[in-house]
Amino acid sequence: MTSYRKQIGELHELPTIPASEAKNRFGALLDRIASQGPVAIVRHQTPRAVLISIDEFELLRAATESDSKGSASTSDPSTDSSI
């Protein structure tokens, strides 16, 4: 297990899987992620990547787009080259 922080700072445990096992059992890993949530892929006990479901990815992407639109609306209009 490895720990990570969500956006609001809560610490959560994240299950890990060695990269070699992820490679050899990729289909089963996809099923696990869809039903149980993200998994960190580790190489030599160091997290190298996190595999998430498409649903979680879409939520992250929507949140990122929402954040960037919010910051764009508060930008200085004098620096906007589209005007």
State residue 27's pLDDT score: 97
Q: How far apart are CA 83 and CA 77, in angstroms?
A: 8
Q: How far is 47 from 40, CA to CA, in rounded Å?
A: 6
pLDDT confidence of 67, banded at 50, 70, 90?
A: confident
pTM above 0.75, yes or no: no
Which tokens go with 5? 């922080």
pLDDT (tens digit per residue) in 12-22: 789 999 999 99
Contact 41, 51 (CB under 8 A): yes
